[in-house]
Every structure is written in C-alpha cells, then in structure tokens.
C-alpha cells in the first residue's frame, strides 16, 4: 500500500506547476514535495512512491540526487517520472536505474496538467497490490 509519496522536482516553474498538479489529485495521501536543492536521502527513504520531474536533463539541483542514486537501494519502492521534454524523461529514467526502484507505467512527457493528473492517479493505482480472487474468496464474496 502506498502510504507516503514524494514529489521531487528541479527548480523550473513548469516542474513546480506539475508537482502542484500531481499533489492536488493525491489529497487523501501523505504527500511531500521537495526541490532537488533541498533533497535529503531520508526524504526518499521515507517514501513508498516517488515522482521525479525536471524540465531539462541534468539540472544543477539534481547533483545530489545523481550521487545518491548510485549508492542507495530503493528496490522496495516504486516511482514514476515526468517532464515536458523527451530528453529529460530519458535522463530521469536512466538516473533511477541503478537504485533498483520500480518504475510504474510509462514516463509522462508533456505540459497538459489535466492529462498529468490522470497519469499520476494511474501510476498510484498501478502500484497497489493486486488481489487475485481464489475459489475461497470468490465464494465468500458472493455469499448473502
């Protein structure tokens, strides 16, 4: 179950607007929004799910994140990446690869905030454990 969500962005205005849009559809969850310049390793370790977003590849504010991702094990966590540009999305996908974090869904590339909100909700829904009905649970469900 996703209990705590981190939204990590660079300092670009488009990234900050995207983080506000994402957090607006996750109202019933514990959401923390952090800019790369203030990131601490404990921010990521405390999260069950992370959204990573930047406007351009390799923003200066992600210098610490780049170092951190080579030395941290995030294999029990899930994430998704978003950007306005395909190059930045590819940068983020490559950046998280060494950490073991599981990417949920395809990266979001675009500037339509309404579509971004729908995408973010789907990412969270895709990260929830899937319950596969067995004969026992199906029978209990249909009992009156």
**pLDDT band per the 50, 70, 90 thresholds, residue 107:** very high
Instruction: For 55-71, give one letter per residue: b (16+ CB within 10 A) or e.
Output: bebebebbeebeebbee
> Where would I find the beta strands (DSSP E) of 28-118?
30-35, 49-53, 78-83, 102-103, 108-109
Residue 130: DSSP 8-state: P
Answer yes or no: are the C-beta atoms of 18 and 52 closer than 8 Å. no
pLDDT digits (tens, 9 = 90+) for 20-71: 999 999 987 899 999 999 999 999 999 999 999 999 999 999 999 999 999 9
Nearest residue to 24 via CA among 123, 118, 125, 127? 118
The answer to whether the CB of 100 falls within 8 A of the CB of 73 is yes
Interval 82-87 mean pLDDT: 97
Say if residue 15's pLDDT is above 90: yes
Structural domains in the chain, sorted by start: 4-142 (3.40.50.360)
* Nearest-5° Cα angle at 131, 129 to 134: 155
pLDDT band at 116 (very low <50, low <70, confident <90, very high): very high
Is the pLDDT at 117 greater than 50? The verdict is yes
Residue 17, H or E segment: helix 13-24
Over residues 101-125, the mean pLDDT reads 95
DSSP reduced 3-state for 25: coil
């Amino acid at each position: 179950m996703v209990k705590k969500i981190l939204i990590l962005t660079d300092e670009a205005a488009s990234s900050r607007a995207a983080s506000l849009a994402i957090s607006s559809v996750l109202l019933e969850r514990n959401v923390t929004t952090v800019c790369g310049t203030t990131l601490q390793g404990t921010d990521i370790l405390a999260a069950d799910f992370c959204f990573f977003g930047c406007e351009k590849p390799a923003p200066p504010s992600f210098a610490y994140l780049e170092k951190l991702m080579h030395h941290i094990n995030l294999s029990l966590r899930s994430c998704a990446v978003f950007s306005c540009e395909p190059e930045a999305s590819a940068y983020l996908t490559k950046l998280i690869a060494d950490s073991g974090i599981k990417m949920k869904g395809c990266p979001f590339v675009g500037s339509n905030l309404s579509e971004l909100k729908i995408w973010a909700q789907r990412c969270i829904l895709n990260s929830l454990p899937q319950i596969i009905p067995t004969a026992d649970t199906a029978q209990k469900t249909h009992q009156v």
